[in-house]
Amino acid sequence: MSLTLKKSRVRSVIPTTRMGRMKAQAMRRAEQVRPMASSAREVAAHRIEDARIWAAPRLDRAAHSVEEQIAPKVSAFLSQAADKIDPSPSLRRRGRGRGRWSMIALMCGIAACAAGVMMYRNNARQWAETMKDTGADASRWSGQRVDETARVDESGMTTGDTTRRMY
């Protein structure tokens, strides 16, 4: 009768290799550690819950104290700093020519932009005309090359092939 037929019997197999012995030992240790791991998990979960119960009211108190005591002070400080560093000019300096210079700068910018656009269009038009002339010259040159290669000399070779003839 085989040992594997009955499941109630403990299977005792003696490993023959060192790796097999190590594997069997690890399996036995895992069986021993399993109950300790489950109890450690329960203890850790209970301690985490206790820590959350302890920390929740303290965090709530801290949030209220920041909102009621610290935030108004910080807000007042920031408003005061903004008033001190505000770059807006006073009323008497505002009326003196500041608007005139900004208008002059704006008009100069518009004029420079218009000049640039006109120069760009002129350059584009010249480039297009040059390309048309170049295209017409290229088609004329390609027509001449076709005529030259069509001429055949007495030996039956084209004029371009006569330079390659071996003597």
Which of 11-15, 34-38, 99-103 has the highest average model confidence (pLDDT)?
A: 34-38
Claim to verify: residue 69 and residue 24 sit in the same structural domain: yes
- pLDDT for residue 49: 92
**40 within some domain:** yes
pTM: 0.31
**36 within some domain:** yes
Query: Max alpha carbon distance in the chain (Å)?
Result: 115
Claim to verify: residue 24 and residue 64 sit in the same structural domain: yes
* Distance of alpha carbon 55 from alpha carbon 60, whole angstroms: 9
Full domain range(s) for residue 65:
16-81
**For the chain, how many structural domains are there in total?**
2
Please list, in sequence order, all residues whose beta carbon lies within 8 angstroms of the beta carbon of residue 33, skipping any fewer than 6 positions away: none
